[in-house]
Amino acid sequence: MDGTATPGTASPAVFLCADDTLHVLKKRSAFLAAARARKQGTKAMMIQARKRRDDEDVDPSVIRMGFTCSKKVGNAVARNRAKRRMREVARAVLPSCGKPGWDYVLIGRKDETAARDLLALQSDLKWALRKLHAPKPPRTPR
């Protein structure tokens, strides 16, 4: 850095989205609610998706997302690297493929999330979102 940053400008590490439709999940209760909802795995990550209820105090036009990695992924450096990559992929894919009023949690996988090509990560997320938003087939009675 050249030291010419002006007060009030955000750090490049701060999550920014031009259209302000993406928000980051911060509360544990939101992560737990997503864990009880739909899930879809890919080679590089697990995606949990939940349609928010109408009575929740969140703007229905907002897409919320969260990122997590367990200690199985590696040390703090490896987990942070995996989360940075998932954040970048979500920033590129969710505004076009995600649905407003939904929460998404991306969970990193050991040795895969950090090593996989970014374009492959994007296609994994797009595929998972198509599967998650596809209508459920009717259950047949046994």
Lay out the sheet containing 102-108: strands in order across.
22-24, 63-68, 102-108, 45-51, 38-41
Stretch 36-65: mean pLDDT, rounded? 90
pLDDT value for 56: 84
Choose between 66 and 2: higher pLDDT. Answer: 66
Query: Which domains, and CATH codes, for the chain?
Result: 23-133 (3.30.230.10)
Q: Structure pTM?
A: 0.80
Strand-pair category, 45-51 with 38-41: antiparallel
Closest CA to 54 of 101, 91, 90: 101
Q: Where are the alpha helices (DSSP H) in 1-142?
A: 28-35, 76-97, 118-133
The one-character DSSP state at 73 is G
Instruction: Answer yes or no: is pLDDT of 10 > 60.
Output: no
Query: Residue 134 pLDDT more than 90?
Result: no
| 70-96 pLDDT tens trace | 999 999 999 999 999 999 999 999 999
Phi, psi of 90 (to 5 degrees): -65, -40
pLDDT 10s digits, 93-128: 999 999 999 999 999 999 888 889 999 999 999 999
> Does residue 14 have a pLDDT over 60?
no
Averaged pLDDT score across all residues of the chain: 85
Q: What is the pLDDT of residue 12?
A: 47
pLDDT at 135: 83
End-to-end CA distance of the chain: 65
| Distances 74 to 78, 112, 113 between C-alpha atoms, Å | 5, 11, 11
- Spatial separation of the C-alpha atoms in residues 10 and 13, rounded to whole Å: 8
DSSP notation for 115-130: TS-HHHHHHHHHHHHH
Is residue 1 scored above 60 in pLDDT?
A: no
